[in-house]
Amino acid sequence: MGEVDLLLDGLDFGEGPRWRDGQLWYSDFFQHRVYTVTADGRRETVLDLGDEQPSGLGWLPDGDLLIVGMLGRRILRYDGTGVRVHAELGHIATSHCNDMVVDHQGNAYVGNFGFDYGAGQASVGAALALVRPDGSTLAVAEDLQFPNGAVITPDGTTLVVGETFGSRYTAFTIGVDGTLSDRRTWAEVPGRMPDGCCLDTAGGIWFADAIRSEVIRVVEGGEITDAIEVPQRAFACMLGGDEGTTLFVITAPSDPQGGLSPGQGAVWSVEVDSQHAGLP
């Protein structure tokens, strides 16, 4: 493993890092914006969403950008000129929407908190929503404990979603119609809270442990193969860079419920052994 280097600071609370077209993309909850960052740390604003909190990001086959609107419980669509509502999820999401993975057909799988975490409500299970390319919606899995970051394997047949409050990764087989079946435990990670994540070519999932200043690599069955310390609590990560082996890690001093520290979040980079694979 390489050294952990600072790529960019000045974030409020970043989420949804994605590598595309030679750049890192991410959203910032409280700056209400979607950004791109070059490999040398130059940041540009893609979108300012006003009062909406953006989270997960993904792309349709035609190149339109999908953005999770957390507070509105909806998916927004940006075609390069304007933003419109792609799908409403208030009938499925029982609290704020959060992360999302979009497959090569344009099917988006969207998690939500399930309960009002910030108000201290008791944890309850949440549904995972499927948003098809035409904007139609369907709940495709129930009773997930805070479904969060998710990956799709390179062959497009398996979705693995992190359950932050379940301390595990749960896998599903993806049907030809985008629905999910054959629910099974992919990995238990006791004592950890998996947040944003990505998949590598050796079959491991790198995930940000939301209660620690670490990113962790776990393989199917639950073996933790690597842990990398970062200077703040880690909330999301993504493999990218020219060789696909740069792990970008988004951090903040605390989660939003712990008290916001404007401008104190950051993006870090570290070289790892295996390349990015699958989606996102």
Q: CATH code at 209? A: 2.120.10.30
Instruction: Please report whether residue 139 resides in a domain.
Output: yes
Residue 217's contacts (CB-CB under 8 Å, 6 or more residues apart) are: 200, 204, 205, 206, 207, 224, 225, 226, 227, 272
Per-residue pLDDT for 120 more than 70? Answer: no
Cis peptide before 17, with omega less than 30 degrees from 0? no
Q: Which amino acid is at 91?
A: H
Q: What is the pLDDT of residue 260?
A: 72
Instruction: Please report whether residue 279 resides in a domain.
Output: no
Phi, psi of 214 (to 5 degrees): -145, 150
Q: What is the pLDDT of residue 55?
A: 98
Q: What is the pLDDT of residue 119?
A: 59
Q: Could you tell me the pLDDT band of residue 258, with boundaries at 50, 70 and 90?
A: low
Instruction: Please report whether residue 162 resides in a domain.
Output: yes
What helix, strand, coil percent values describe the chain, rounded to 5?
0, 55, 45
Per-residue pLDDT for 141 more than 80? Answer: yes
3-state class of 62 per DSSP? coil
Q: What is the pLDDT of residues 35-54, one digit of tens each?
A: 999 989 999 999 999 999 99
Instruction: Please report whether residue 278 resides in a domain.
Output: no
CA 253 – CA 231 distance, rounded (Å): 9
Per-residue pLDDT for 115 more than 80? Answer: no
Q: How many domains does the chain have?
A: 1
3-state class of 22 per DSSP? coil
- Cα torsion through 222, 182, 75, 24, rounded to 10: 40
Between the ranges 90-104, 107-121, 253-267, where is the mean pLDDT highest?
90-104
Instruction: Please report whether residue 24 resides in a domain.
Output: yes
Q: What is the pLDDT of residue 9?
A: 97
* Mean pLDDT for the stretch of residues 185-192: 98
Q: By residue range, what is the domain housing residue 240?
A: 3-271
Q: What is the pLDDT of residues 202-225, one digit of tens each?
A: 999 999 999 999 999 999 999 999
Instruction: Please report whether residue 276 resides in a domain.
Output: no
User: Token digits for 155?
Assistant: 């062959």
Of 11, 6, 55, 28, the C-alpha closest to 230 is: 6
Instruction: Please report whether residue 280 resides in a domain.
Output: no
